[in-house]
C-alpha cells in the first residue's frame, strides 16, 4: 500500500511539473526538401535531383517525408502530410510548430512569394 502511495505522489508531481511548462510554438525558415534525397546528398536543396527535374515534388507526392533546411544548414523532418506541400519543394518556407525529438510538428506552413508569405493548405490529419 505504501508503494502505491509513493507512485501516486510521484505521478502527481510529474503531472504538475509538466502542466507548468506549456509548450509554445516556434518558427523556422528555410528551404523545403525531400528528406530522402537530402539525407543521401546534402547538396540537394532544390527540386532537381540525380538528373531528374521535379524529383523532390514527385517523391513528396508519393508520401516520402519532407524536410526543412535552415540557412545555417540545420535539418528537420517535417511532421505534416508530404503530398499537401509537394509543390513547394526547393522554395523558401516558414514553418510554425513544436519541436519534437528533432522533428517539427507543423501547425502552419507558409511559402515566400516575392516579399510576402502565402499560407499553404496542410491537412490536420496525417
Arithmetic mean of pLDDT, 23-44: 86
Domains of the chain by residue range:
24-119
What is the pLDDT of the chain when averaged over all its residues?
81
Q: What is the pLDDT of residue 106?
A: 96
Rounded to whole angstroms, the Cα distance separating 105 from 113 reads: 23
Rounded to whole angstroms, the Cα distance separating 83 from 109 reads: 13
Output the pTM of the full model.
Answer: 0.75
The sign one gets for the Cα dihedral 60, 24, 69, 30 is positive
Rounded to whole angstroms, the Cα distance separating 59 from 54 reads: 9
Phi-psi region of 52 (alpha: psi -120 to 50; beta: other; left: phi over 0): beta
- Higher local confidence (pLDDT), 62 or 23: 62
Tens-digit pLDDT profile for residues 38-92: 888 766 666 666 656 677 888 899 999 999 999 999 999 999 999 999 999 999 9
**Which CATH class, in words, describes the domain spanning 24-119?**
mainly beta
Amino acid at each position: 500500500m505504501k508503494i502505491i502511495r509513493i507512485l501516486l505522489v510521484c505521478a502527481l508531481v510529474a503531472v504538475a511539473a509538466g502542466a507548468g511548462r506549456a509548450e509554445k510554438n516556434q518558427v523556422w525558415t528555410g528551404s523545403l526538401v525531400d528528406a530522402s534525397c537530402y539525407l543521401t546528398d546534402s547538396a540537394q536543396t532544390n527540386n532537381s535531383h540525380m538528373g531528374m527535374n521535379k524529383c523532390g515534388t514527385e517523391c513528396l507526392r508519393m508520401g516520402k517525408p519532407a524536410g526543412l533546411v535552415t540557412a545555417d544548414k540545420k535539418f528537420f523532418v517535417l511532421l505534416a502530410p508530404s503530398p499537401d506541400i509537394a509543390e513547394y519543394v526547393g522554395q523558401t518556407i516558414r514553418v510554425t510548430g513544436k519541436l519534437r525529438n528533432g522533428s517539427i510538428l507543423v501547425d502552419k506552413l507558409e511559402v515566400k512569394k516575392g516579399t510576402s508569405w502565402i499560407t499553404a493548405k496542410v491537412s490536420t490529419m496525417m
